[in-house]
Amino acid sequence: MARFDRPLKRVLVLVFLAAVAFSPFSVRAEPQGKLIIFHAGSLTVPFARMEKIFEAKYPKVDVLREAGGSTKMARMVSELHKPADVMASADFAVIDKTLIPEHAQCNIRFATNQLVLCYTDTSRFANEVNADNWYEILGRKGVIWGHSDPNLDPCGYRSLMVLQLAERYYHRPVLYDRLMANRPKKNVRPKSVELVSLLQTGNMDYAWEYLSVAVQHGLKYIKLPDEINLGNYKYDDFYKQASVKVTGKKPGTWITRTGKSCTYGITIMKDAPNPEAAAAFLEFLMDPNDGLKVLKEMGQPPFIPCRVPTAEMKARLPSSLQEFVEVRD
């Protein structure tokens, strides 16, 4: 009996879940209107692709995307009160710090990334550089390399963390200081994606980028060992040793960012002008056959399923989304 019961129960639970999951959509009208998505610059290419597929699926929805440094985009919401439905950040901690609890109530981790050193054919020493000598080449005189602003872009402080971790990993004391001395301030840009055009026009030789950016822009890149590339959460304990001081809440104050693996977070705004479309988009994004597949193709390995930190947060999600997330710290 018990043996017979269990599958039946399971089927019933599944049916119930499905009913819960789909009921809002059978009751609610088809999502329509404008859907405003703020996202990290490093998500531009996959989100552009998703926009196309999503709009084909929901022809009545017009997706309006705005890309920028994640911290800036979060501020657009929290300070300028710019209306947005969905916000996707390159560092999920930005959502926790800037948007929760006033502007958002969930934070779903959906993808990862890692840092790579990008270059082009015309970069100085391009035919010499490899995973073993990159840190020596970046220290050479005349080599122009850069990263994005650590105060504005998570990719910026992460680039610096990679250098710190390299110092430990390769046992090269003062490597970090030596490299930074070879990087004048003018090589720093607000967003990491901006560095791509500097590489392509020959204004810069090497730039720190996310793997996804390198893949999407067809750049040459050096892949670093997992111990220092900030891409594997199994090495979070090692990453922790890197720390970068970035500007705090007001000029002259500082906070310390500690190394940890790159994890993307996404949330729906509390006062989203179009919550139906927002939920539909997240459902699309978190589907392993839709959004997550696009991310995977573009060099941003997704979490399948996506993750939320607490069961409480999961419960707060629109019911249609709950089947796509697991509770995991």
Partner 1 sequence: MKIAEHIDPWICLTIFCSFTVVLFILLPLIEMIVQPSFQDLKETVQDPDVRRSIWLSIYTSGLAAFISFIFGTPFAYLLARKEFLGKKFLESIIDLPIMIPHPVVGIAILGIAGKNHWIGHLMHEVGICVMGTVTGIVAVLTFVGLPFYVNTVKAGFEAIPVRLENVSRSLGASLSRTFLRVTLPLAWRSMLVGIIMCCARAISEFGAVVIVAYHPMIAPVMIYERFTAYGLKYSQPVAVWLIVVCLVLFFLLRIFSLPKEHQT
List residues near partner 1 by CB under 8 A.
69, 71-72, 75, 78-80, 122, 149, 151-152, 184-190, 194, 197-198, 200-204, 247, 249-251
C-beta closer to partner 1: residue 106 or 152: 152
Shortest CB 121 distance to partner 1, Å = 10
Shortest CB 219 distance to partner 1, Å = 14
C-beta closer to partner 1: residue 39 or 189: 189
Residues 110, 268 contacting (CB under 8 angstroms): no
Ramachandran class of 52: left when φ > 0, alpha when ψ lies in -120 to 50, beta otherwise: alpha
- What are the contacts of 303-306 at 24+ separation with CB within 8 A? 303/109, 303/110, 303/111, 303/112, 306/108, 306/109, 306/110
Residues 36, 66 contacting (CB under 8 angstroms): yes
Shortest CB 263 distance to partner 1, Å = 21
C-beta closer to partner 1: residue 129 or 286: 129
Shortest CB 49 distance to partner 1, Å = 23
**DSSP string computed for 118-173:** EE-TTSTTTTT--TTTHHHHTTSTT--EEEE-TTT-HHHHHHHHHHHHHHHHTT-T
Write the single-letter amino acid at 21: A
Shortest CB 250 distance to partner 1, Å = 6
C-beta closer to partner 1: residue 151 or 319: 151
C-beta closer to partner 1: residue 120 or 229: 120
C-beta closer to partner 1: residue 53 or 246: 246
| Strands laid side by side in the 33-40 sheet | 61-68, 33-40, 86-89, 263-268, 108-112, 302-308, 325-327
C-beta closer to partner 1: residue 124 or 296: 124
Shortest CB 249 distance to partner 1, Å = 7
Distance CA 81, CA 142 (A): 45
Nearest of 269, 279, 287, 315 to residue 99 by alpha carbon:
269
Query: What are the C-alpha distances in Å from 41 to residues 16, 88, 154, 209?
Result: 39, 10, 11, 11
Shortest CB 87 distance to partner 1, Å = 15
Residue 92 tokens read as 């999920």
Indicate the SS3 state at residue 106. Answer: coil
C-beta closer to partner 1: residue 202 or 288: 202
Shortest CB 81 distance to partner 1, Å = 10
